[in-house]
Amino acid sequence: MTAAGRVIVFGSLNADITFEVHRLPQAGETVVAGGVRRASGGKGGNQAYAAARTSTRPVLMAGAVGDDEAGVSLRDDLSTAGVDIGLVRVVEGVSGMAMIAVDEEGHNVIVVAPGANHVWPEVPALPLEADDVVVLQLEVPLDVAAQVARQAVARGARVVLNAAPVTPGADGLLADVDVLVVNEVEATDLLGLSTIDVEAVAAAARERALAVVVTLGSDGALVADAEGRMTRVPSFPADAVDTVGAGDAFVGAFAAALAGGADLVAAARRGAAAGSLTVTVRGARHPRLHPLLVDDLLDSQPDPPGRTMS
């Protein structure tokens, strides 16, 4: 256990428009949607929401929104969830937006227009402290994320990088990262892994001297510490209706658990529980997400078996 700190999420805020379709369209094809939903999103916003709604840790959001109606909603929704939005800038122009198509099995395709998320004439000095956990994603410019990571390192804060979407040059961030969280595709692209298994993930963690968490959807996650010690964290049973936001819920709950003093495996289990709960509802944010809801799901499934040394 380590000292408890805050979660500071630096990242994207988007207005999501989700189309419910019976199947995802192919290139050049038009598919008629059976329903349309509008909600607040963005990987950064979703992760801050999950961090605040799955823990009692202070959660701060740093990012940018436009001076439009969407920007007001994006800030208000996070504030209502208990996130401190004092570090969210309002800039002239439009807020970020995401168009999402979700099929009947919960699979999705997403198109993002960055808007205000890419308006950074300068990077603000964040009020970081040594016990903080700083969460980064790559829906903001890479150089901006890199500067925030360097600020965190200078203050002694831990950096969790969710390398999504993988951006050319993202491997240059890893020297300032304590924990890398990626899915299978991102692990392949960023770490150059030809296979995603215990040995490959352990070797990648040892080589780069950082903890690596590879999320595997319904197959749980592989967790390697910086020395390559491995644990397979199982998923939790869930009736999935929408996988949008599951990864963000994992990252947010994971970071909040780390900030509260949990170790990597315990934090990953909490992240997996939050992700499993999120897929049971429509949209990227579970409206009833709560620490007790996560606790109950964790209590329903025994701890994973001992570590597999590699």
Is 70 exceeded by the pLDDT of residue 252? yes
* Domain boundary assignment for the chain: 7-12+44-92+124-299
pLDDT bracket for residue 194 (50, 70, 90): confident
What mean pLDDT, rounded, does the chain reach? 93
* The domain made up of 7-12+44-92+124-299 is a member of CATH 2.40.160.40: no
- The pLDDT value given to residue 3: 60
- The pLDDT value given to residue 202: 95
Q: pLDDT tens, 40-59?
A: 999 999 999 999 999 999 99
Report residue 270 as tokens. 């909490």
Average pLDDT of the segment spanning 61-84: 98
| List of residues 6+ apart from 195 with CB closer than 8 A | none
Q: pLDDT tens, 207-251?
A: 999 999 999 988 999 999 999 999 999 999 999 888 889 999 999
- The pLDDT value given to residue 309: 44
- The pLDDT value given to residue 244: 82
- The pLDDT value given to residue 156: 97
Catalytic, 303? Answer no
Place of tokens 């990864």: 247
Average pLDDT of the segment spanning 86-98: 96
Is 70 exceeded by the pLDDT of residue 307? no
- The pLDDT value given to residue 310: 46
Q: Say whether pTM exceeds 0.85.
A: yes
Average pLDDT of the segment spanning 276-305: 90
Report residue 142 as tokens. 């890479």
Q: pLDDT tens, 111-125?
A: 989 999 999 999 889
| List of residues 6+ apart from 89 with CB closer than 8 A | 63, 64, 65, 116, 124
Q: pLDDT tens, 164-189?
A: 999 999 999 999 999 999 999 999 99
- The pLDDT value given to residue 87: 97
Q: What is the 3-state secondary structure (H, E, C) of the chain?
A: CCCCCCEEEECCCEEEEEEECCCCCCCCCCCCCCEEEEEEECHHHHHHHHHHHCCCCCEEEEEEEECCHHHHHHHHHHHHCCCEEEEEEEECCCCEEEEEEECCCCCEEEEEECHHHHCCCCCCCCCCCCCCEEEECCCCCHHHHHHHHHHHHHHCCEEEEECCCCCCCHHHHHHHCCEEEEEHHHHHHHHCCCCCCHHHHHHHHHHHCCEEEEECHHHCEEEECCCCCEEEECCCCCCCCCCCCHHHHHHHHHHHHHHCCCCHHHHHHHHHHHHHHHCCCCCCCCCCCCHHHHHHHHHCCCCCCCCECC
Q: Tell me which of 248, 263, 296, 299 is the catalytic residue.
A: 248
Q: How many CB atoms lie within 10 A of CB 146?
A: 18
Report residue 220 as tokens. 């749980």
Average pLDDT of the segment spanning 31-47: 95
- The pLDDT value given to residue 80: 98
Is 60 exceeded by the pLDDT of residue 304? no
- The pLDDT value given to residue 106: 77
Is 90 exceeded by the pLDDT of residue 107? no
- The pLDDT value given to residue 102: 87
pLDDT bracket for residue 306 (50, 70, 90): very low
Spatial separation of the C-alpha atoms in residues 288 and 95, rounded to whole Å: 26
